[in-house]
Amino acid sequence: MQHKQKEKKAIITVKGLQKSFSTGEVEQVIINNLDLDIYEGDFTIIMGSSGAGKSTLMYALSGMDRPSGGRILFDGKDITEYKDDELAVFRRKNCGFVFQQIYLLEKMSLMDNVLTTGFLTGEKKNNVIKRAEDLFDKVNLPKITRKKNSSQISGGEAQRVGIVRALINRPKVVFADEPTGALNSNNSDAVLDVFSKVHEEGQSIIMVTHDKKTALRADRIIYLKDGKIFGECLLGNYQKEDVERTRKLNQFLEEMGW
Amino acid sequence: MKKIWVLAKHNLKKEKGQYMAFGIILLMTALILNIALVLLFQMDKAYDKKFDELDTANVNVIVAGGKSQPVVEYNVNIDKETKTTEQFEIVEEAKITERLDEIEKEISQLENVEKVEVLEAIFLNAIVKDFRGTDFDMNTVFYNMDETHELNRLEIIREDKTEVKNPIYLPLYIAEFGQFDLGDTIVYQIEEEKVEFTVAGVVQEMQYGNLGNGIIGVYLPKETYTEFVKGREMCHVTVFSAQTKEQADSEKMMDSITSLLTDADESVLFSGYDRANKQVRTMVCNLLVVILAAFAVIVLLVSLLLCRERIQNRIEAEMTDMGVLKALGYTGNGIIAAMMLPYGIVGILTIVFGIGISYILLPVLVSVIQLQAGFWLTIGFDAIGALIVVVLLLGMVFFFTYFAARKIKKLQPIWAIRGISQGKISRKNVFALQTTKGNVHLLLAGKNMYAAARQNLLLFLVLFVLTILISFAGVLFYNVMVEPDNFMSTLAEESPDAVLTMNAEDGKGHKEVIENMEQVSNVLEYSIETVQLDKEEVPVFVCEDFNEVTNDLCYEGKNPENDDEIAIGNEIAQNGSYEIGDSITLTVEGKSASYKIVGFLQSVNYQGKLLELTKEGYEKICTENPYITLYVYLNEKEQTESFLELAEDNFEDGIVTTVNFYEKSKTSQELYAGIVQIVVLAVFLLTILIALLILFILIRSLLVQRRQELGIYKAIGYSNRQLMFQMAGSFLPTAFVAIFGSAVLGKFMMPTIYNGIFSMIGVMKHHCEISAGILLLFAGVLFVATFFISMVLSMPIKKISAYALIKE
């Protein structure tokens, strides 16, 4: 498996990543000299206990937050050197985001939420609208719902809109921060199915989760502890009802002290 | 109470910037309002106090001739053949003395007259040379300051007792405005003679004060006066001054005294009463009070609306916290009190501070006001004014904050905790991106604008009013600084560039030569003569063709065109109840003619007491005029001095006097320009400051309110610049409509505002140009300033990372 990973192209390469926060005179290190490769087409899950630095790492990889030190090469380009507005352009072209709290824009329709991102790249409006309709179809959100406001739909539906918004610009990587954390079991499964579906189509995904059921969907699991990679597990392609896969994940997490 | 205090302290700390902005606006309101009130209360008081202190007469009437005048030919009927010249003079003096004593007695017997005093003086039209760098002609009464008198006393405020040649004591107005210091030489040109005096002192007096009355008094020690009178005996006048009993109508008293004098065949040269004099002398102060009070009301309304807006925003933004507090047992009133308390604290502190600062700024304004008022204005602390400011502003703040916050009472804890507003929520998806054509950023700015409709409405109201203010200042600026003729012609009379007085016999021929000079655009025969109307001396403007004048004084009807037509001043029309079409009879040295009234005239300087006749019309009653006065209009006003030098060289024999009228007008303009500069600058800066503060409060509120939303935008790839543009852009359409809409409306509203203000000083028709260009220019400046201020205030978007925004 390790050998197969090496054959894949690394879309993100992290070298000596540092992230610390100062609270008064005390400096708290969140990410400590971390090296990591993320491969194209992989569904990578980041796990770890609370405060391990999972979200911090993910937001640093996506250019949402600036690291304190080290380099992040995204598709060969060092994004740590980018200025704020260059990072914004980088994000709109390369990254899609799905958040636990979903964060839809309240004062507009679901379709407008998606188009607000879609129209950013300067692509022809009709093409973007067509793609948005296709993506809405893919996540099973009916046309009538698309005109609604975010406060008029369920959490599961809202998260599916979040996924459509993340995918609308055909990002190189979709970053998801505990996307099922606020959903009930049914909605959670539906959302994960969408993620698996788009992954099958070749979409690279990096997801932070605490949930074992979610982690089962991954190709690769990275376990963080005290700001460093404590362990890594390769699960291969996701298959439903895969007992061996479940056993392997359980064993890995047990080793990690989960 | 302790709990409320803790909550209030928390509120105060949490939104320091917002409270500071509110405080600054309130401070400005207190500052402006206090200045207006102090001026309103103290100017009046100080004027009356000084008026009483100096035992000023309520009515002053000047008649031609005096006891010391040897001959008053037209007033006495004598048998010349039986008397020698010496006898003749003695007889005349005795008769005049007897007559004036008789009149004095009659005046003192009038109802409501407290005290009468009669003084002799010399009255003439004199040109003050080098008055603030130019020549300034003024009707001047030269008094013997050592003559004992009880009324109209003088207060010497500066004096140099060293012995000098021809000492003179100047009134404050001439000394300050004409820039004459003690020891300086002041030169009066009286006809062709120049008389030099040395400034020995500066006095305050309340009889004349400034040139607004068209007359001013100067004071000579006895020796200087005696010397000055020699050869000017014909210019003797008698000044009748009367003090009235309290409650008496001084205007009626003036009319009674004037009637009494004219019935006795005295020629009245000037008559004035206290109220009219006070109005003229406090004109600038009153205008400032009106402008400042209007500004204070506007700023106050802005601050209160902002205060209301802030509270409503906070209720929306912190509804959950309020729900939690209610759930914990805080009462609605307790939370409201905690919300109002910081406004109260900030209010008290800033109002007191504003009042304090107003006393630092007051001397600057006072220095301008006292120059025009002609007396030293000492401003002290005004407790009543301060109390009004504190009570009014604080009361309004409490009233507005309570009404804005009272909906907290109705807030159900559970709904509040769930963040569900009990008001209506609009789910309308305006500017739908899928269907609306246009740039995505513009559409998003439109969505934001709709979402912040309440804030936009507030901004609209404020910018609309501010634009009216800035338009007012802009129009004033344009008409005083850029096109000063407009403003000056409103206050003054016909203003040529140069005035040449020539011998009548030479003048005719010279006029044609002057007309053909390269630098001359027009020449008019125009003079100010005196005629008798109902036995009172009244100035009459005589012109060969009123169609050619540059300053049309006529506000109703028309100027005279034929020799039987006349236009009369508004004061004469009012006093005599004259209508257009009525007839009026004028007399010059016993020769009379009747004229048909064809128009009404305005004049600030002559207070509506003037007439207009055509040259032919005037010649019906006065054929023997030894002089001809030419008003010369040049292509380049700046060349007036060189033109006058050329004229003096070429027509040496014919010229009697010349006046550089252009320079003289410029000097007059300086007084107004100084005030206007202060007003315009203050209005402009305050307008920008208010715009800045309101945008600060609105944008900061939105930044707090939309923090998460902005984080989402940043996360999905919107740049700082795009978000700043969206934020600023969401206010721009409102700002554009408010500012330019107000400017366009201003084109129609401004004349009404200006008419109202000018009517306060007796101007029936002003010549101020309401230039659309200047309105749009000032509106443009305000709009650009609004845009840049919005962009700058949106900059904090830059400082926070998308991650941090989302995490918050």
Q: What is the pLDDT of residue B761?
A: 64
Task: Say if residue B182 is in the same domain as residue B226.
Answer: yes
Percent of chain B predicted with pLDDT > 70: 90
Is B20 inside any structural domain? Answer: yes
Q: What is the pLDDT of residue A6?
A: 57
Q: Min CA distance, A249 vs chain B (Å)?
A: 30
Question: Residue B405's pLDDT band (boundaries 50, 70, 90)?
Answer: confident
Q: What is the pLDDT of residue A150?
A: 83
Q: Which residue has the higher pLDDT, B777 or B339?
A: B777
Q: Min CA distance, B420 vs chain A (Å)?
A: 11
Q: What is the pLDDT of residue B800?
A: 65
Task: Say if residue B541 is in the same domain as residue B579.
Answer: yes
Is B222 inside any structural domain? Answer: yes
Instruction: Give the count of alpha carbons within 13 A of B403, CB side only.
Output: 10
Best CA proximity match to B324, nearest among B411, B410, B402:
B411
Q: Which residue has the higher pLDDT, B66 or B528?
A: B528
Residue whose tokens read 């406001």: A149
Residues of A in contact with B434 (CB under 8 A): 111-112, 115, 129
> Nearest by CB to A117, which of B432, B716, B806?
B716
Q: Which two tokens stand for residue B451?
A: 């979402």
Hey, are the CB atoms on B801 and A64 less than 8 Å from each other? yes
User: Which residue pairs from A123-126 have beta carbons closer than 8 angstroms and sit at least 24 positions apart in sequence?
Assistant: none
Is B549 inside any structural domain? Answer: yes
DSSP H or E stretch at residue B171: strand B167-171
Smallest CA–CA distance from B711 into chain A, residue: A103
Smallest CA–CA distance from B806 into chain A, residue: A103
**Per residue in A160-211, pLDDT tens?**
899 999 999 999 999 999 888 877 887 888 888 888 988 998 999 999 999 9
Please measure the distance between the N-terminal and C-terminal CA atoms of chain A and give it in whole angstroms.
23
CB pairs under 8 A between A and B: 88
Q: Per mean pLDDT, which range of B62-76, B484-498, B521-535, B714-728 is the poorest?
A: B62-76
Residue whose tokens read 């005295």: B266
Structural domain including B114 reads: 59-247
Q: What is the pLDDT of residue B750?
A: 85
Is there a contact between B447 and A116 (Cβ–Cβ < 8 Å)?
Answer: no
Best CA proximity match to B538, nearest among B559, B560, B566, B565:
B566
Residue of A61, A89, A108, A174 for testing the chain B interface, max B β-carbons within 10 Å: A108
**Per residue in B447-485, pLDDT tens?**
888 888 888 888 898 889 888 888 888 888 888 878 877
CA distances from B590 to B99, B621, B680, B710 (A): 21, 9, 52, 90
Q: Min CA distance, B776 vs chain A (Å)?
A: 36
Please give the Cα distance from B628 to B651 (Å, whole number). Answer: 14
- The strands making up A10-23's β-sheet, listed across from edge to edge, are A26-39, A10-23, A69-74, A77-78
The CA angle B263-B264-B267, to the nearest 5 degrees, is: 90
User: Domain boundary residue among B196, B231, B247?
Assistant: B247
The CA angle B594-B598-B600, to the nearest 5 degrees, is: 110
Task: Say if residue B36 is in the same domain as residue B1.
Answer: yes
Please give the Cα distance from B332 to B330 (Å, whole number). Answer: 7
Q: What is the pLDDT of residue B459?
A: 86
B360-389 mean pLDDT: 87
Assess whether pLDDT exceeds 60 at residue B802: yes
DSSP H or E stretch at residue B576: none
Hey, are the CB atoms on B801 and A129 less than 8 Å from each other? no
Q: Into how many domains does chain B fold? A: 4
Residue of A19, A22, A62, A64 for testing the chain B interface, max B β-carbons within 10 Å: A64
User: Domain boundary residue among B612, B636, B663?
Assistant: B663
DSSP string, B494-560: ---SEEEEEEHHHHHHHHHHHHTSTTEEEEEEEEEEEEEETTEEEEEEEES-GGG-SS--EEEE---
Residues of B in contact with A108 (CB under 8 A): 429, 433, 447
Is there a contact between A139 and A164 (Cβ–Cβ < 8 Å)?
Answer: yes
Task: Say if residue B81 is in the same domain as residue B41.
Answer: no
Hey, are the CB atoms on A103 and B444 less than 8 Å from each other? no
Q: Which residue has the higher pLDDT, B481 or A97?
A: A97
Task: Say if residue B82 is in the same domain as residue B142.
Answer: yes
Please give the Cα distance from B771 to B780 (Å, whole number). Answer: 14
Smallest CA–CA distance from B798 into chain A, residue: A84
Residue whose tokens read 């540059």: B550
Smallest CA–CA distance from A117 into chain B, residue: B716
Smallest CA–CA distance from A119 into chain B, residue: B440
Question: Residue B418's pLDDT band (boundaries 50, 70, 90)?
Answer: low
What CATH fold (topology level) applies to the domain A2-255? Rossmann fold (3.40.50)
Is B267 inside any structural domain? Answer: no
Is B433 inside any structural domain? Answer: no
Q: At what angle do helices B720-729 and B661-705 cross, to 10 degrees?
A: 120
Q: Is B242 exposed, middle or buried (0-12, 13-18, 19+ CB in 10 A)?
A: buried
Is B356 inside any structural domain? Answer: yes
Q: What is the pLDDT of residue A75?
A: 92
Task: Say if residue B113 is in the same domain as residue B164.
Answer: yes
Q: Min CA distance, B412 vs chain A (Å)?
A: 20
Q: What is the pLDDT of residue B576?
A: 86
Chain B, residues 444-463, CB within 8 A of chain A, namely 444, 447, 450-451
User: Domain boundary residue among B616, B643, B663?
Assistant: B663
B268-297 mean pLDDT: 81
Every domain of chain A and the residues it spans:
2-255
Best CA proximity match to B672, nearest among B488, B503, B526, B512:
B488
Give yes or no for B714 touching A (CB within 8 A). Answer: yes
Task: Say if residue B506 is in the same domain as residue B538.
Answer: yes
Q: Give the three-state DSSP class for B742.
A: helix
Task: Say if residue B212 is in the same domain as residue B95.
Answer: yes
Task: Say if residue B209 is in the same domain as residue B76.
Answer: yes
B383-398 mean pLDDT: 92
Q: What is the pLDDT of residue B805?
A: 58
**Per residue in B735-757, pLDDT tens?**
999 999 999 988 888 888 888 87
Is there a contact between B379 and B370 (Cβ–Cβ < 8 Å)?
Answer: no
Q: Which residue has the higher pLDDT, B706 or B601?
A: B601
**Per residue in B607-638, pLDDT tens?**
778 899 999 999 999 877 778 889 999 999 88
Task: Say if residue B337 is in the same domain as residue B483.
Answer: no
How large is the ipTM?
0.82
- Tell me what the pLDDT averaged over chain B comes to: 83
Q: Give the three-state DSSP class for B127.
A: strand
DSSP string, B426-488: ----TT-TTT--S-HHHHHHHHHHHHTHHHHHHHHHHHHHHHHHHHHHHHHHIIIIISHHHHH
Q: What is the pLDDT of residue B458?
A: 85
**Per residue in B65-85, pLDDT tens?**
776 555 444 344 444 454 444
Hey, are the CB atoms on A120 and B802 less than 8 Å from each other? no
Task: Say if residue B526 is in the same domain as residue B489.
Answer: no
DSSP B245: P
> Nearest by CB to B434, which of A64, A115, A169?
A115
Q: Is the dihedral of CA B64, B70, B73, B77 positive or negative?
A: positive
Is B548 inside any structural domain? Answer: yes
Instruction: Give the count of alpha carbons within 13 A of B708, CB side only.
Output: 12
Smallest CA–CA distance from B721 into chain A, residue: A85
3-class secondary structure per residue, B655-687 = EEEEEEHHHHHHHHHHHHHHHHHHHHHHHHHHH
B96-121 mean pLDDT: 84
Is B328 inside any structural domain? Answer: yes
Is there a contact between B28 and B686 (Cβ–Cβ < 8 Å)?
Answer: yes
Task: Say if residue B585 is in the same domain as residue B451.
Answer: no
